[in-house]
Amino acid sequence: MARIVIAGMGFGGLSAARTLAGSGHDVVMLDRNNYHLFQPLLYQVATAALEQESIAYPIRALARGWRGTSFRMAEIVSVDLESRRLICSDGELSYDHLILATGSRTNFFGMKNVERHAFDLKRLDQAETLRNHILLMFERAAREPDPARRSALLSFVVVGGGPTGVEFAGALRELILHVLARDYPEIDPSETRTVLVEAASGLLTAMPGSLGAYARCRLEQMGVEVLLASCVADADQTQVLLADGTSIPTCTLFWSAGVAAHELAGSLGVPCGSAGRVKILPDLTIGGHPEVSVIGDMACLEQDGAALPMMAPVATQQGEYAARAILGRIAGKAPPPFRYRDKGAMATIGRSSAVAVTGSSSFRGFLAWVIWLLLHLYYLIGFRNRILVMLNWGYYYFFQERKIRLITGTGSNSQPDSCRSRHA
């Protein structure tokens, strides 16, 4: 019986564990959290559309029906490739085969001030922190007599025109126009600003240009200011500075302009590619270490002349492949090279509007939005979570109301008259 350790229970790790369950081997799942997080819906937690618990599912609950699996909650400190062991926050763990799926981190491209003052969304607690911050900005603006400061409190800058930035900007604008405008009658919605900054010449550049143009048009109809071919150069607690010298007074900067591999990738002592991702062989293993597979956002693998994108579908397919490849090696069989099957991409742009592309077909508007809803419900883990999310979406669709508007954490109110860093 071989010990197979899966480090990271995101989409790739979950797919690998599901495939290895019941294989007759000792499968150890390792993660710093005791739950699997459905990251594509984190922005809806941050914009008061969903509760935190509805997009997370306990790993131990999943493992109940998976024979031969166990879970260990720990942080990985380092990997000793030569002795085949993990050094974790709670001790060491040896392995015969290892699947590294620890994911990614936000890439601030070396801009320390931006990193210090920007919000990002990679963890569940970050979504709650951002939601608290947005609501607190309205609380403070409601009693702020200075027009300039009031304007900064009510201005929200979103950096990155990919799916996360587009979805967050649209959801935030709808929260402001349809919910917070009624909660705060002393604030005119025209006083608020939502600015989307993108360095490229269009939005959603991984999709056909017509879909990016549609997304821009819809966002602008909602009142989002879209700044294309614009780069952020610096930021502090009260403003965002663009490369062309433009200053946007704001107390809220949301960063979704890039991701990089988890810090663990750089400590392995193996070649890395762009964004710090580990360069792997076609069978997803590290050169010289066939017992170690790297999948998901940590892995750098080229296909058809370009590196595979850091997306959940890639991680999911790689997780299943890596698990089957390990079982094949144990049985003495060499696995064929991994090949990603692109099933398409999509992004929602608020209520009743989305864009989607699959193969040579593209969709936009209400039909794309329905497809987006159904697919996200399908891939969400847990029957209860699916019901809760569906009920919340249905309630908002018919009443344009979001009930999850609690400001939690007493520390958030300790400095009511100052813009605060995300680390404050």
| pTM (2 d.p.) | 0.93
Residues 64 and 192 occupy one common structural domain: no
Phi-psi region of 88 (alpha: psi -120 to 50; beta: other; left: phi over 0): beta
Contacts of 182 (CB under 8 A, 6+ apart): none
Which of 6-10, 12-16, 130-134, 406-410 is least confident?
406-410
| φ, ψ (nearest 5 deg) of residue 297 | -65, -20
CATH of the domain at 62: 3.50.50.60
Task: State pLDDT tens for residues 337-385.
Answer: 999 999 899 999 988 999 999 888 899 999 999 999 999 999 999 999 9
Residue 337 domain-assigned (yes or no): no
Residues 71 and 50 occupy one common structural domain: yes
Relative to beta strand 85-88, strand 76-80 is antiparallel
H helices within 223-339, ranges in order? 312-330
What does the pLDDT read at residue 65?
87
Residues 137 and 241 occupy one common structural domain: yes
What does the pLDDT read at residue 403?
77
Place of tokens 């010298």: 245
Residue 224 domain-assigned (yes or no): yes
Residue 424 domain-assigned (yes or no): no
Query: Mapping DSSP to helix (H, G, I), strand (E, B) and coil, where does residue 21 land?
Result: coil
Element (H, E) at 414: none
State yes or no: pLDDT of 421 exceeds 80: no
State yes or no: pLDDT of 143 exceeds 90: yes
Residue 340 domain-assigned (yes or no): no
Residues 147 and 15 occupy one common structural domain: no
Catalytic residue set: 167
Residues 227 and 194 occupy one common structural domain: yes
Q: What angle do CA 403, 406, 411 make, to 5 degrees?
A: 165
DSSP 334: P
Residues 143 and 234 occupy one common structural domain: yes
Share of the chain above pLDDT 90, in %: 90
Instruction: Please count the structural domains in the chain.
Output: 2
Residues 356 and 233 occupy one common structural domain: yes
What does the pLDDT read at residue 405?
86
Q: What angle do CA 308, 311, 316 make, to 5 degrees?
A: 95
State yes or no: pLDDT of 256 exceeds 70: yes
State yes or no: pLDDT of 293 exceeds 90: yes
Select from 123, 148, 38, 150 the least CA-distant residue to 422.
123
Residue-range definition of the domain harbouring residue 362: 112-257+345-413
Residue 232 domain-assigned (yes or no): yes
CA distance 122 to 106: 7
State yes or no: pLDDT of 196 exceeds 50: yes
Residues 162 and 265 occupy one common structural domain: no
Residues 167 and 251 occupy one common structural domain: yes
Residues 246 and 321 occupy one common structural domain: no
What integer best gives the mean pLDDT of the chain? 93
What does the pLDDT read at residue 415?
41
The predicted model gives 288-309 an average pLDDT of 95
Relative to beta strand 3-7, strand 26-31 is parallel
Residue after which a domain boundary falls, among 285, 300, 330:
330
Place of tokens 């999310």: 389
Place of tokens 């801009």: 111
Residues 180 and 314 occupy one common structural domain: no
Cβ-contact 294, 268 below 8 angstroms: no
What does the pLDDT read at residue 423?
47
Residue 401 domain-assigned (yes or no): yes
Place of tokens 């300039």: 148
CATH of the domain at 372: 3.50.50.100
Residue 423 domain-assigned (yes or no): no
Residues 322 and 378 occupy one common structural domain: no
Residue 386 domain-assigned (yes or no): yes
Give the pLDDT band of residue 418 (cuts 50, 70, 90): low
CA distance 127 to 119: 9
Q: Contacts from 280-286 at CB under 8 Å and sequence distance 24+?
A: 282/337, 282/338, 283/325, 283/335, 283/337, 283/338, 284/318, 284/321, 284/322, 284/325, 284/338, 286/81
